[in-house]
Amino acid sequence: MRALDVGIIGGGTAGSAAAVFLARAGHRVTLYERVSEPRPVGAGITIQPTGLHVLCRLELYPYIVSRGAHIDRLLCESVTRKRLVDLSYGTVGDDLFGVGLHRGVLFEALLAAVAREDITVRNGVEIVDLERTEHGGAPRASWFIDVNRQRHGPHELVVVADGARSQLRDDTGTSKRIAPYPWGALWFVGKDARDPDDASTRTLHQVVDGNQRFLGMLPTGHGPSRLLGSTLGPRLVSLFWSIRCDRVDAWRKRGLGPWKDELAKLAPESVPVLDQIESIDQVLFASYHDVVMHRWSTRNVVYLGDAAHATSPQLGQGCNLALWDAMVLADVLAGEERDLAVALDRYSRTRADHLAFYQFSTRMLTPFFQGDEPWLGTLRDLTMPLMGKFPITNRIMTLSMLGVVDGFSGRMLQLRLPRKEA
Ligand SMILES: Cc1cc2nc3c(=O)[nH]c(=O)nc-3n(C[C@H](O)[C@H](O)[C@H](O)COP(=O)(O)OP(=O)(O)OC[C@H]3O[C@@H](n4cnc5c(N)ncnc54)[C@H](O)[C@@H]3O)c2cc1C
């Protein structure tokens, strides 16, 4: 494909990664971000081996690994401390691990990578509409319309990466389904006072009681550095608590005391983190959406990341899928195809199996951990330990966690990762 004039809407994970890949491939890129002064905010995320593969290609791997926490294991226990899920990255490959990361670290690394490339960045511009300029029935380019009805562009290729609450998805002309999840999560980032040699600091640990009480603790490494300074701050840990979205106001009214007592009883190891919470305003709430689109491109427009396929964070794949999207888009455009619409259609087909697997699995799994039918929690407690015991099902669960399952055919994504340091 010849060099294109590309406009990207949204400077989050998908948009920034796509901007870097496409600029490096010689395209002229403009990145539109509605926030005037983007800052590294957010809680903990897990970068899976798939995400690490993409970060390698972006040359951001050393920075991310140095600031994040190596995660070797996912351990989910019941309130009675029965092991429900116990998956180790090392069972698939010695060099495999996840990285628990403050989301702000990924953000600042991508922001710095954007700044190093020849990319025009337009912060504080909220794009709300697209206007096509057609020629002989084929789109030549699209104007971007911002919230003040100003026009920007035009751009030949439109990359929509404006997140789960995308304002531009309605323009797709393809069938889609967007549903908010009834359950969300409270989260808090605190200092991790545990001994760094303790195996618990390399474990994503979850404690569940039925499917209505769910606490997670994810080690998240050293946090954002502000302008990529080399000094490492204290080690951090993200605490997550599942809550029904319509109960958040009642939770606030009840106050911190009863909530902290409840969590301390469920998981005493969370007390050193809970002790750091002094005000209810330190605890933030996140809700999530399930977004299903049947293809992710129309003519000269392509949808990446949460705008295209948001899920609940149950399998911890959102950022990883967004990074993989950006890489595949750049690879497809680097091919021989000269017709943009055909190339974007190829992008959709290339992503279909991987996304179908993770969207379906996450949607199926979520109500077993966060839901209104208690019997699903009971069923989970009976079946999951059994699945973990059989090597074949344990392996499928572990591969799913890694992010590499490329559809329901048994095909796996191939990763190229540096060897793990001793
Ligand atoms: C509680 C929680 C836990 C999670 N845990 C994990 C995890 O462990 N692992 C994982 O991989 N993922 C996790 N995720 C998901 C992950 O955060 C998302 O999948 C990922 O951030 C998606 O990236 P994105 O670029 O598509 O969207 P976003 O990161 O949401 O970025 C969208 C960007 O677009 C901008 N924007 C929005 N509208 C406009 C507009 N109209 N014009 C211009 N700019 C606009 C926004 O300001 C933002 O910068 C979690 C999510 C939640 C809520």
Q: Is residue 304 part of a domain?
A: yes
Q: Is residue 246 part of a domain?
A: no
Position 269 confidence tier, pLDDT thresholds 50, 70, 90:
very high
Distance CA 332, CA 167 (A): 26
Query: With contact defined as beta carbons under 8 Å apart, do 195 and 201 qualify?
Result: yes
Ligand 1 centroid to Cα of residue 32, in Å, is: 15
In this predicted structure, the answer to whether residue 421 has a pLDDT above a threshold of 70 is no
Q: Is residue 10 part of a domain?
A: yes
Position 165 confidence tier, pLDDT thresholds 50, 70, 90:
very high
Mutate to test the pocket of ligand 1, among 162, 170, 240 (most ligand atoms within 8 A of CB): 162
Q: Is residue 311 part of a domain?
A: yes
What the block records as the tokens of 408 is 């329901």
Q: Is residue 261 part of a domain?
A: no
Report pLDDT for 226: 61
- Output the residue whose Cα is nearest ligand 1's atom 2: 313
In this predicted structure, the answer to whether residue 42 has a pLDDT above a threshold of 60 is yes
Report pLDDT for 229: 56
- In terms of pTM, does the model score above 0.75? yes
CA 352 to chain centre: 18
Report pLDDT for 134: 76
Beta partners for residue 284, in sequence order: 187
Q: For ligand 1, is residue 12 a contact (CB within 6 Å)? A: yes
Distance CA 298, CA 176 (A): 13
Position 172 confidence tier, pLDDT thresholds 50, 70, 90:
low
Q: How would you label 41-68 residue by residue, b for 16+ Cβ within 10 Å and e otherwise?
A: ebbbbbbbbbbbbbbbbbebbebbbebb
Q: Domain range spanning residue 136?
A: 5-41+104-180+290-402
Q: Is residue 190 part of a domain?
A: no
Distance CA 101, CA 221 (A): 6
Ligand 1 centroid to Cα of residue 12, in Å, is: 6
Strands 83-88, 5-9: parallel, antiparallel or unpaired by DSSP? unpaired
Element at 120 (helix H, strand E): strand 119-123
Ligand 1 centroid to Cα of residue 215, in Å, is: 22
pLDDT in tens, 329-376: 999 999 989 999 999 999 999 999 999 999 999 999 999 999 999 999
pLDDT in tens, 66-93: 999 999 999 999 999 999 999 999 999 9
Query: With contact defined as beta carbons under 8 Å apart, do 224 and 101 qualify?
Result: no
Report pLDDT for 292: 92
- Could you give phi then psi for residue 417, rounded to 5 degrees? -130, 150
pLDDT in tens, 133-153: 876 666 789 999 999 999 999
Report pLDDT for 57: 97
- Write the CATH number for 325: 3.50.50.60
* DSSP collapsed to 3 states, 302-331: EECCHHHHCCCHHHCCHHHHHHHHHHHHHH
Nearest CA-CA partner of 205 in 90, 313, 78? 78
Nearest CA-CA partner of 365 in 396, 328, 389, 334? 396
Q: For ligand 1, is residue 403 a contact (CB within 6 Å)? A: no
Cα angle for residues 242, 248, 254 (degrees, 5° grid): 105
Ligand 1 centroid to Cα of residue 336, in Å, is: 32
Distance CA 211, CA 208 (A): 7
Average pLDDT in the 318-336 region? 97
Query: With contact defined as beta carbons under 8 Å apart, do 208 and 80 qualify?
Result: no
Q: Which residues contact 253 (CB under 8 A, 6 or more apart)?
A: none
Q: Which residues contact 124 (CB under 8 A, 6 or more apart)?
A: 33, 34, 35, 36, 37
CA 111 to chain centre: 16
Query: With contact defined as beta carbons under 8 Å apart, do 351 and 330 qualify?
Result: no
Q: For ligand 1, is residue 49 a contact (CB within 6 Å)? A: no
Report pLDDT for 50: 98
Between 174 and 325, the more confident residue is 325
* Dihedral, 239, 245, 250, 256 alpha carbons, nearest 10: 10
Residue at token pair 């890129």: 29
Q: Is residue 329 part of a domain?
A: yes
- Output the residue whose Cα is nearest ligand 1's atom 20: 319
Query: With contact defined as beta carbons under 8 Å apart, do 194 and 213 qualify?
Result: no
Report pLDDT for 1: 85
Q: For ligand 1, is residue 10 a contact (CB within 6 Å)? A: yes
In this predicted structure, the answer to whether residue 393 has a pLDDT above a threshold of 70 is yes
Query: With contact defined as beta carbons under 8 Å apart, do 18 and 170 qualify?
Result: no
Distance CA 24, CA 311 (A): 30
**Number of structural domains in the chain:** 1
Ligand 1 centroid to Cα of residue 184, in Å, is: 15
Give SS3 for 77: strand
Q: Ligand 1, closest atom to CA 168?
A: 41
What the block records as the tokens of 121 is 């960045």
Query: With contact defined as beta carbons under 8 Å apart, do 139 and 42 qualify?
Result: no
Element at 98 (helix H, strand E): strand 98-102
CB-based burial of residue 17 (10 Å sphere; 0-12 exposed, 13-18 middle, 19+ buried)?
buried
Report pLDDT for 216: 97
Report pLDDT for 345: 95
Distance CA 47, CA 52 (A): 6
Between 5 and 227, the more confident residue is 5
Report pLDDT for 96: 95
Q: For ligand 1, is residue 14 a contact (CB within 6 Å)? A: yes
Percent of the chain with pLDDT over 90: 86
Q: Is residue 21 part of a domain?
A: yes
